[in-house]
Amino acid sequence: MNIPLVLGNWKMYKTCAEAIRLVQQIKSGLPSGWVEVGVIPPFTAIAAVSRELADSPIALGAQDVYPAAEGAFTGEIAPPMLAELGVHYVLCGHSERRHIRGEDDMFVGRKVAAVAEAGMSPVLCVGEKLEERDHDEAEAVLLRQLSVGLAGFKSDGSAGLVVAYEPVWAIGTGRVATPDQVAAAHRFIRDWLSVNLKMTNPPRILYGGSVKPENVDSLYNIPEVNGFLVGGASLKADSFLGIINIYG
């Protein structure tokens, strides 16, 4: 059985000094329970956080990547640059990248493949918008995002794939999908992965979408959920640790 994984996505928050203070607070309160923890700071703080995480069990992540090893891509970050800094997890296709920056499934798929090729673990983010759920299109959206997003992923490689289900309508809104909705989506994803990816260790499937200490109990009790991708609640040590401690 895979160890549960809790990732904190800090988005466009935290200067280097603030990031270091937050990591120190998380480290001091980290439980000894059966759970893996990772933090995903903005690019400007990755090097500082990497140094702070030396000799720590906390994994380092990155919020995005460009799918090329190098090139004339002003403002972009290549996979080898992240790997050099000790990054382990890289978000690919977060809903805010898809719907604010217009990234399509094929571009997201290129990121997944590039991250895996660089020896890091891609975290493929999938999920439907509110109108898609209201029109019973949630599974069709997940099918498209999985099949295109993982078309170039080599499941026999050393990189460990993670999938994060984040219904777009529950991100930053305070709304949370019901346990039945979460379980159904995770089962659909799990079934697709088991049929289409022949992996020795099945990928962990996280839930993301307004996860907080106040609602994590109901989500924790869903057998299909292997951990959480946490947004706003990861910006303060006490709330992030409150979620992590569900596994402690």
Q: Which residues are catalytic?
A: 94, 166
C-alpha 152/C-alpha 113 separation (Å) is 5
Query: Within 10 Å of residue 31's Cβ, how many Cβ atoms?
Result: 13
C-alpha 130/C-alpha 169 separation (Å) is 5
Query: Within 10 Å of residue 54's Cβ, how many Cβ atoms?
Result: 7
SS3 category, 36: strand
DSSP string, 104-164: -HHHHHHHHHHHHHTT-EEEEEE---HHHHHTT-HHHHHHHHHHHHTTT--TTSS---EEE
C-alpha 168/C-alpha 156 separation (Å) is 31
CA distances to 39, 64, 115, 160, 236 from 92, rounded to whole Å, are: 15, 6, 9, 14, 24
Nearest C-alpha neighbor of 21 from the set 48, 60, 56, 54: 48
Torsion of CA 6, 11, 13, 17, to 10 degrees: 60
